[in-house]
A and B are shown apart, each in its own frame.
Chain A
Amino acid sequence: MNHNDIIICRCEDITLGEIREQIAQGKHTLEEIKRACRSGMGPCQGRTCAPLIINEIAKATGKPVSEIPLPTFRPSTSPIKMASLLGGDQHD
């Protein structure tokens, strides 16, 4: 099996190959990789792919995992309907 076809970001369908390509282009932080290919921008907000991508960055750069910064955690914690925010079943 070609490892490059493995899906790393399930929300946005980003493969290991695409992640490796971004790293090869010199993007060595989650923030940069995310903005280049949308990894971690889906409904789960990188909960699955962030540690996997950190491992790839660590492997490519030789840096320990602990030195790869995490991206900013942004609200909301989980997806929320606008109608729910307005507190009503009137929009549901």
Chain B
Amino acid sequence: MIKSADIVVIGGGVIGCSTAYNLAKLGAGKVVVLEKNYLASGATGRCGAGMRMQWGTETNCLLSRESVKMLSHLPELLNVNVDIEFTQNGYLMPAYSEKMAEQFKKNLVLQNSLSIPARWVTPEESLEIVPFLNTKGMYGATYCAEDGHCNPFKVTEAYAQAARKLNVEIYTDTEVQGIVTKNGRIISVRTNQGEIQTDTVVNAAGGYAKTVGRMVGVELPIFPERHEILVTEPVEPTMGPMVMSFYHNLYCQQSPHGSFIMGIGHPNEPESYNIKSSWQFLRDMAERLVEILPPLAGLNIVRQWAGLYDMCPDRTPILGNSPSLNRFFTAAGFSGHGFMISPITGQLMAEMVIGKPTAFPIQMFDAGRFNRGELFVEPSVV
């Protein structure tokens, strides 16, 4: 194993790989990625693989808009030969109360002001988009035709390949066990495969970001939360967009492969590292799904799994240097939408780490915002 590096990125998910690639591209010196299991083995590879620009805060709108732009031609951008399955079949988000409809319309004003082509559709218009949607109780929906899907394994693979071409070293099966500091500076990162001297660490450990923070006495308000998901047998293309309902706390999308991927959020899910599947999920999922998309009841479920959301109290990620330990950067707390904003996030993090002005202002997203009381509450999360 390498003995020293300019920057050590902890976490081989899409955020870690995207950040490492961008660092190398900006000439940041020797960059190393450390991954406990294999690439995309955590939240990245377990996510719903959706990509949407319909958000409720300006930052999430901007980050997702820029990321969709990059994803639309990512293989060319990275000069790699990986099919990332980029598809734009839209997101349809039904509203079931006046209050929800009002919030959605407020979001639309924001989204449209940032050139995101989302629009309000009536229940009748929704049926033109998804003919078998149950519109009972629906006030209408927002729809953005340019939202869609990408394959998280392939996007991570694309970034990893591009990073390796720029001499980034990626160590899988390598678990970080400690970070050595002295007089308020990082000295080295200890792993089960050896020790790497470095003065800069990027914590991209997802649900484990808090654990990594505690290695240097930095307390990050990020907590892991299990989210369950399932996939059905593949069938002919039947449903274009992702259907996402905050009322049912559910999302469901047909992937290019033909299978339907769907998940629900549980309001009482406790903080834990548990990623076991539960039978209760199957029943709850099926029950809620057939209410809104009745014909899908005839589909066979092939597999279910679970992963960790790295939750932040305001559901906005922490991006930045630590207020208490210099050059300990965090890019985590994505609260269930890290994958879809990973391309631009990696770029912004790299710019910040090398001290270059960032393409967007992101300095307010440091962990210090919780002490300052300057939160950015994202209303639109399942």
Interface size on A, residues (CB 8 A): 23
A81 to B301, CA, bound (A): 6
Docked-complex contact A82 and B153, CB < 8 angstroms = no
- Determine whether B145 belongs to the interface, using a CB cutoff of 8 Å to chain A: no
Q: Do A82 and B304 form a contact, CB below 8 Å, given A36-B157, A75-B279? A: no
Q: Do A32 and B297 form a contact, CB below 8 Å, given A75-B282, A86-B286, A91-B290? A: no
**Stretch from A1-9, A40-48, A53-61 that touches the partner:** A40-48
Docked-complex contact A85 and B283, CB < 8 angstroms = yes
Interface size on B, residues (CB 8 A): 30
Q: List A contacts of B134 (CB < 8 A).
A: none
Docked-complex contact A81 and B38, CB < 8 angstroms = no
Docked-complex contact A83 and B297, CB < 8 angstroms = yes
Docked-complex contact A76 and B303, CB < 8 angstroms = yes
Docked-complex contact B302 and A45, CB < 8 angstroms = yes
Quick one: which of A35, A43, A76, A82 has the most chain B CB within 10 A? Answer: A82
Q: Do A41 and B303 form a contact, CB below 8 Å, given A32-B38, A85-B283? A: yes
- Determine whether B257 belongs to the interface, using a CB cutoff of 8 Å to chain A: yes
Q: List B contacts of A29 (CB < 8 A).
A: 38
Q: Do A76 and B301 form a contact, CB below 8 Å, given A32-B38, A38-B257, A86-B290? A: yes
- Determine whether A18 belongs to the interface, using a CB cutoff of 8 Å to chain B: no
A36 to B82, CA, bound (A): 10
Q: List B contacts of A41 (CB < 8 A).
A: 231, 302-303
Which residue numbers of A lie inside 8 Å of B, CB to CB? Answer: 29, 31-32, 35-36, 38, 41-43, 45, 72, 74-76, 79-83, 85-86, 91-92
